[in-house]
Structure 1
């Protein structure tokens, strides 16, 4: 007669309310622990292609159950495919489950508004949207005729800015438009200008993973601080090119 073994009961379980989700869906994660340990939460980790993209802790109820939600959107949700949820409880108690995620294709990120502090002048709004990162801060440096955007770049991406002309602009002495100088981590880069009107300039800047400071330099700034001449801007361009050239020469 063959021996009969009792079925081993897992010490922790985990599941989601569906096997597949689209970008923007709410994922409900739930499970149960067999033995509750006082003041010990469940640690939940979320992986995409083997990379940890989110982590959090979930309180366990007295009956051993736990649940939490995940919003399936944001700068770290960049790949469609299989995602893994791993839960850990106590010492060595681990469970996993997987689900499929489908990223939206062809949709541009929504434009948001950042209120920039302009000192005694007050504030002004900069419209922005970003792919591949998070905008952490936008500030004006009037003495340098510069708008500084601080980002956390999780990957190669792009930043769209709608800059009000009254806050920052770049013009010839005859008032015709000229290009801004744009720097990413102090290295001059190119940009695209999509829409120009009488009240704002809309530019798109591509950045690399690891870039943190993007500077847009013009010739005029909020009225309180006046403007600079095209000669000064040209000097700034030449200086920037020389600095950039020297940076690259060090690696030759």
Structure 2
């Protein structure tokens, strides 16, 4: 079984080759459950990394997620389609295997997200981020209703109003859109930008090997996102970009806040 984790074989019953025990070791800093053989600081670097408090979403998303009404159950049962109606980037993979008899597919290889221009080419349909710039609420809603066959128009209408009001990325794109004088100009979302109100040194790259990350593939550069007003080219969004998740999962990141921007703190002072 040496190095078996690097050569997984689904035909092997790994349970018969040993037992690593229960996850009954609790971190004194973040209360994460770990196995007895795991390094003490692998979860939160001994208290130096502290996850931000969960911010409850505004209505109607709060009720749709946490209540048990018929609308909430319908939303949760079809949450992927509801999210697809608002995602700003497209989803793809290096290898997709489709079943010729079933409306399903399997993903092999690396997944990726693609971002297009803010406006479609003349006579082309609005897609993904472009839907936010249709300019008419009812037309925008009509376009979203065509994306998922199990979505409810009333729920999409409420979520559409919520994202236009609270999502910082949508507001950023709208503001930039008004300032772009021509199709030759572009919007750049920097990958290394410090969040508003934070000191830049709190987000410096680590200088010692306290945290390690394994990345498969060649796309590991923290590249900027460059959006054009109108362009037929698609841009691959880096997996390490701070907006990577917020662009693809707007129902989860409803406020459009940055991801991967958790500063390290002093465990003794909490600052």
TM-score by length of 2: 0.19
